[in-house]
Amino acid sequence: MKDNTKIFKALSDTNRLRILKALQTKVLCACEIKELVNLANSTVSQHLKTLKEAGFIDEEKDGKWINYMILPNPDDRRINSILSQLDFWVNDEKQIIADKKKLVKLDRSKLCKS
């Protein structure tokens, strides 16, 4: 039951859904995610932690960046099932559509200061 709770918690926040949809489009660093959802670094960090603990995403160090991506082969089959159905549930939301347009313009070399 604890795993179910983590999954539902991860899906219960609009910003986490926005992050998941963005990561289905491309790999992003925290700076890009922060710019996309317009939240504080600490809040973005907490959202990423929740998504990672639920088994939706993974991270990988790449030079000065930490890249976040959809976990390619989750151990939990429910994660794949949810991700494959995410378009059905949220793809036509105005915020998701706006995020897709904004994603194209995000440039980590201009956003990241470290």
Q: Tokens 């706006």 map to which residue?
A: 98
Instruction: Give the integer Cα–Cα distance in Å for 71 and 73.
Output: 6
Q: What count of other Cβ atoms lies within 10 Å of the Cβ of residue 38?
A: 10
Share above pLDDT 70 across residues of the chain, in percent, rounded to a whole number: 96
Find out whether 11 and 17 touch, Cβ atoms under 8 Å. yes
Instruction: Give the integer Cα–Cα distance in Å for 21 and 72.
Output: 14
Strand partners, 67: 29, 60
| pTM score, whole prediction | 0.90
For residue 63, the model assigns a pLDDT of 86
Residue 114 clears pLDDT 90, i.e. is over it: no
Kindly provide the residue ranges of all beta strands, DSSP E only, lying in the chain, ordered along the sequence: 28-29, 57-62, 65-70
Q: If you average pLDDT over residues 76-101, what whole number do you get?
A: 89
The CATH code belonging to domain 2-94 is 1.10.10.10
For residue range 40-86, list pLDDT tens digits in order: 999 999 999 999 999 999 999 988 889 999 998 888 889 999 998 98
